[in-house]
Structure 1
Amino acid sequence: MTIQQIKYFLVLAKELHFWNTAEKVFISQSSLSRQIQALEDELQIQLFERDKRNVKLTNAGKFLQEQWREEIKEFDQIIRQAKKIDEGKAGTISITYPGSIAYEFLPKFLEVLSNNLPDLKIELTEPIDENHEKLLLNFQTDIAFSRDKIKNVNIDSQKLYSEPICLVVPKNHRLNKKNLTGLENEKFIISGLHQTTFFASLLRSWFSKNGIEPKTIIESDFGGMIINLVSKGLGISILPLSFKSAQAENVEFIELEEKIDLYINWRKKELNNTIKKVVEYSKFIGKK
């Protein structure tokens, strides 16, 4: 029994005329008769009562017509969706990302995907840094944005762009681009320096290079929360420039010489064309 035989059956069940059906399905009447007979023989069910003048569905034929009509419709929809996926236009992909790109790069990226791949469903997750590699290799995510390159023989990475890290201070704070003295006396609201994340490592390196032992009063990995606390005058922080797009009130960003990168990571030898297209769109946004 083939899908094509079922489709022939459904057209004949509707037309109840071999000649008309043969014309609609573009085969000869004799070929149609053989296909229907082969279907009946395999199922060991009589589907039609027929004589020289009339074709009529049996009760078993009516039952299968009702069942198969919906299943073939669903089957055709699945095939159309599979073709879209093959062409890179639809499906579902999972993306993990660091919170620092949520205000600038990520919205632009999602807007481009929405405009160019409108049928694509996207699942977003913000894990801790160490999980990006594991999630990719376990097929729990398809694309991982990260601040450092994932070094694994089974993962491809591409640097998208670099941006400065910034001192984040309340407006009218004494610190400015020309005066960064006395940082050791400031109260810092930053990621925990004991962590093994890339950004924590970058902060440790920056403080060490500048001979500063920071007075950390609040530890947090949530940039939005940190900016809100800085705006209330509770302390200062260091964050990537991307957070400036949050447009928080009573906050100023002072760019430092240190830069931080953004990478896109995906599995090597990826067969899903949708993922390949999404990677290309991310490179396009990164260049801009």
Structure 2
Amino acid sequence: MTIQQINYFLTLAKELHFWRAAEKVFISQSSLSRQIKSLEDELGIQLFQRDKRNVKLTDAGKFLQEHWTILINEFNQVKTQAKKIDEGNSGRVSITYVGSIAFSFLPNFLKHINDKLPDLKLELTEPTDENHEKLLLDYSTDIALSRDEIKNIHIDSVKLSSESVCLVVPNNHWLNISNFGNLNDLKDEKFIIAGLHHSTFFASLLRNLFNKYNFEPKTIIESDFGGMILNLVSQGLGISILPHSFKYAKPENVRFIELNESIDLYISWRKNDLNKTIKRIVDMAKEV
């Protein structure tokens, strides 16, 4: 039994059609049929029920499809990581980040990496409601720039910085630094904010902030994309609460008012990862 045979099986299990499955794996229909028959003979298990018109998974086939899909995904992740380690400085490193740093920390950070490791390919992803811890443990990312410290025995986290959380209002709004008291002044305002039902760290911070002042915001638009929120606030559709970093986007017709709240930025990576480039990038983040 080979990895290739398992991939043939999983493709056929998905397509349930020999001709389409054979096209997907770039072999002839007769070759695919022989490979599946060889796999069944080796296992001593019938994986498919076939007739001239239909192909169906047996119960044993369904069981193997579920479990082999997980194993193949893990195998591919490990293979990808091994390739990254082998490629070293000229390989690839994947980074997930929070959108608020896209206008300040992230550009400086990426420039620093490019200056020191010009042949390194970076893969950037901004997950909206993802678990950075899971992404690291699944090898879906190598480095996570997140707002919360990841506490896991297999992961290292270091705090890079702290910044204030701000009210964001249009320039012609009645609210300013001198007349702002606390959030209770805003009970009649229309808010454009991240969905409070989400599990992200910033959504949790907002929930706690509103609970502290015991009021439910009048949310007219929900968005996890700060750039979109800034644009909507600048159009006078409502007000928002965002990290101070968004000020570096230099939005027009928008004013930032600092609140007595702060938010941190952490960098996290897998502990004892053999890819030495990851540790170099972490050190660069500390320098920036």
CA distance in 2, matches of 1:234, 1:142: 38
Q: Residues 85 and 276 of structure 2 are in contact (CA less than 8 Å); yes or no, is this contact kept in structure 1? A: no
CA distance in 2, matches of 1:82, 1:171: 50
CA distance in 1, matches of 2:287, 2:193: 32
Residue 267 of structure 1: aligned partner: 270
CA displacement at 1:273 relative to structure 2: 1.1
Note the 1:36-115 alignment, pairs <5 A: 85=88, 89-115=89-115
Letter matched to residue 100 of structure 1: S
CA distance in 1, matches of 2:176, 2:206: 19
Q: Residues 92 and 122 of structure 2 are in contact (CA less than 8 Å); yes or no, is this contact kept in structure 1? A: yes
CA displacement at 1:96 relative to structure 2: 0.5
CA distance in 2, matches of 1:212, 1:132: 30
CA distance in 2, matches of 1:83, 1:124: 21
Note the 1:142-181 alignment, pairs <5 A: 142-181=142-181
CA displacement at 1:208 relative to structure 2: 1.7
CA displacement at 1:277 relative to structure 2: 0.3
Residue 205 of structure 2: aligned partner: 202
| 1:253 pairs with 2:247 | no
CA distance in 2, matches of 1:186, 1:149: 32
CA displacement at 1:82 relative to structure 2: 7.9
Residue 188 of structure 2: aligned partner: 185
Partner of 1:168, secondary structure, is strand
Change (3 A) 1:245 1:283: same
Residue 233 of structure 2: aligned partner: 230
Q: Residues 98 and 129 of structure 1 are in contact (CA less than 8 Å); yes or no, is this contact kept in structure 2? A: no
Change (3 A) 1:226 1:202: same
Letter matched to residue 211 of structure 1: N
Change (3 A) 1:265 1:139: same
Change (3 A) 1:171 1:207: same
- Any stretches of 5+ residues in structure 1 without a counterpart? 1-80
Partner of 2:230, secondary structure, is helix
* TM-score, scaled relative to structure 2: 0.67
CA distance in 1, matches of 2:245, 2:85: 37
Name whichever of 122-131 and 224-233 sits farther off. 122-131
CA displacement at 1:133 relative to structure 2: 1.2
Residue 119 of structure 1: aligned partner: 119
CA distance in 2, matches of 1:231, 1:128: 22
Partner of 2:232, secondary structure, is helix
Letter matched to residue 234 of structure 2: S
Letter matched to residue 98 of structure 2: P
Q: Residues 90 and 119 of structure 2 are in contact (CA less than 8 Å); yes or no, is this contact kept in structure 1? A: yes
Letter matched to residue 99 of structure 2: G
Q: Which has the larger radius of gyration?
A: 1
Partner of 2:187, secondary structure, is helix
Could you list the structure 1 runs, at least 4 aligned residues long, displaced by more than 6 angstroms after superposition: 81-84
Match of 1:215 among 215, 218, 224: 218
Q: Residues 98 and 127 of structure 2 are in contact (CA less than 8 Å); yes or no, is this contact kept in structure 1? A: yes
CA distance in 1, matches of 2:187, 2:136: 40
Residue 242 of structure 1: aligned partner: 245
User: What is the Cα-based RMSD across aligned positions, in Å?
Assistant: 1.6
Q: Residues 129 and 198 of structure 1 are in contact (CA less than 8 Å); yes or no, is this contact kept in structure 2? A: no
Between Structure 1 and Structure 2, how many residues are aligned? 202
CA distance in 2, matches of 1:123, 1:196: 24
Letter matched to residue 124 of structure 1: L
What percent of counterpart residues are identical?
A: 65
Partner of 2:145, secondary structure, is strand
CA distance in 1, matches of 2:189, 2:114: 43
CA distance in 2, matches of 1:132, 1:90: 25
CA displacement at 1:176 relative to structure 2: 1.2
CA distance in 2, matches of 1:246, 1:212: 30
Partner of 2:120, secondary structure, is strand
Residue 53 of structure 2: aligned partner: none
CA distance in 2, matches of 1:150, 1:240: 20
CA distance in 2, matches of 1:155, 1:82: 18
Change (3 A) 1:152 1:129: farther
